[in-house]
Amino acid sequence: MDEFLDLVIETNTVEGRLATTAAIAVLGFALSWVLGRLIARRAGDAYGRYYARKLSRYAVALVALMALAVVWRAFAGRVGVVLGLATAGVAFAMQEVIGAVAGWFNILTGRIFRVGDRIQMGGVRGDVIDITPLRTKVLEIGSESDEATWVNGRQFTGRMVAISNKATFTEPVFNYSAAFDYIWEELTVPVSHGGDWGQAERILEDEARRVSATEGASGAIHEMASRYPIPKAEVEPRVFARATDDYMELSARFVVPVRTARTTKDAMTRRVVDRLAGAGIEVASTTEDIRIQGLSDAGGATNN
């Protein structure tokens, strides 16, 4: 036993270094097991205990490797070269992390968005629920154009998405509620050329005025104009007409709060359809109904 301890202490010979390596390995396994047990006791659930054990193992392994490097003098006389290579390797391996941290500073200093804003970043739309130095967590909302979501509207899907902050440098970031908590919506209704599209226009304009948040949007734009050199925006509801080969297309444009856009448009659509039906105005389409009726001859037979 004394001879083994002497070998462990003496690291100038190969035998001594081997003995020291064995001692470090045994001590590392024991320390990893003890630390994992102690930290796991403080964890509240199975996931916490799992990650506690993994963290303790990685920490002990890193310390053990550093101790072995000192014992074997692997880098003696080449410290400058080793440090240079290590720095270059770390910078290359952590370029995503460095970019994410830089993106975090970009978010904070540039006031791109904050917790509670509705944004679109990295191809994901939703409400920001957390901003960390590496990632922004978003509670996803659906989209009519995105086939990956099963909710075809601007309502929550239930998924929480973590997006690297680096995306603020590589892709556009859309903020729906930073300084202007409203969006312009449109409801398009096709009316046949032979129909009373003038009456349909009046119905659309009436319903657009009913749901439009004109007063709130005007105040928000006035506040934005005091901070940014923006042109005056039209917030009054309006109906635009466009003649096509098949029908007269009427588009009602109005402004609504960003988080109630879908429900507001749904209620408006139902009322518009009911009022058009009550006025005898048929919604046009590009399809045709072809009905074939049999013709009876003098003998009563039907020719098809």
In whole angstroms, give the CA distance from residue 141 to residue 150.
10
Q: Work out the angle at residue 72's Cα, subtended by the Cα atoms of residues 66 and 77, and round it to the nearest 5 degrees.
A: 90
pLDDT digits (tens, 9 = 90+) for 184-205: 999 999 998 888 999 999 999 9
The 10 Å Cβ neighbour count of residue 84 is 11
Q: Does 244 have pLDDT greater than 50?
A: yes
- Side chain identity at residue 237, one-letter code: P
- As given in the structure block, the two tokens for residue 138 are 């978003």
Give the least confident one: 33-37, 100-104, 172-176, 243-247: 33-37
Give the least confident one: 48-57, 73-82, 144-153: 73-82
Burial of 229 (0-12, 13-18, 19+ CB in 10 A): exposed
Picking from 37, 170, 168, the residue whose alpha carbon sits closest to that of residue 110 is 168
What average pLDDT score do residues 45-49 get?
71
pLDDT at residue 9 in the model: 54
Reported as a pLDDT band with limits 50, 70 and 90, residue 34 is: confident
Give the least confident one: 31-35, 51-55, 110-114, 290-294: 290-294
Q: Does 110 have pLDDT greater than 90?
A: no
- 3-state DSSP assignment of residue 77: coil
pLDDT digits (tens, 9 = 90+) for 219-239: 888 887 777 777 777 889 999
* Domains of the chain from N-terminus onward: 2-74 (no CATH), 97-175 (2.30.30.60), 182-278 (3.30.70.100)
Three-state SS sequence of 190-201: EECCCCCHHHHH
End-to-end CA distance of the chain: 109
Most confident residue range from 47-51, 70-74, 141-145: 141-145
